[in-house]
Homo-oligomer: A and B are copies of this chain.
Amino acid sequence: MQLTLYSDYSLRVLIYLGLKGTELATITEIATSYNISRNHLVKVVHNLANQGFIATIRGKGGGMRLARAPQEINIGEVVRMTEMNFTVVECFDPDNCRCPITPVCRLKGVLHDALEQFLGVLDQYTLEEVIGNGPQLVRILKIPEGRKSARGSRARA
């Protein structure tokens, strides 16, 4: 049972941008910090922007930053958006369900409950809480300190 790499990378981008505050970050910079493929991040960033989680500024000196404060970015909301497929078992997808017992299957209900509980935990957290240990994350990710950083004291420590 796994989240997609797409969800994983989306969350990593948001963590990075949360740590940078109002400063702009580039895809290359984020890819380098996490040591992941830049190409993978292009679609991730595009989608996060489309969904209103991040703002992108084009052109030389451009980049991206969060479009909302970290306390307004709910982890459950992000994962519900990025994880396009919650087909825990095939009957969760009516278009591709071939299991004959689906109409009366109680297991389906149990698995639905389980999925809701999973997402319910994520709903309890915001990005602000996830990056609550900003200084440690900033150090590990080697995020450069900018002149106009608005990361707050946590990230500057």
Contacts and interface: CB of A to CB of B under 8 A. Distances in A.
Interface of A: 1-4, 7-8, 11-12, 15, 33-36, 75, 83, 85-90, 98-101, 103-107, 110-111, 113-115, 117-122, 125, 129-133, 136-137, 140-141
A99 B12 contact: yes
A4 B129 CA distance: 32
A89 B1 contact: no
A129 to B, nearest CB: 7
A100 B33 contact: yes
Contact of A87 (B2, B33, B120, B130): B2
A15 to B, nearest CB: 7
Contact of A90 (B8, B90, B105, B115): B8
Contact of A35 (B83, B98, B103): B98
A55 B105 CA distance: 24
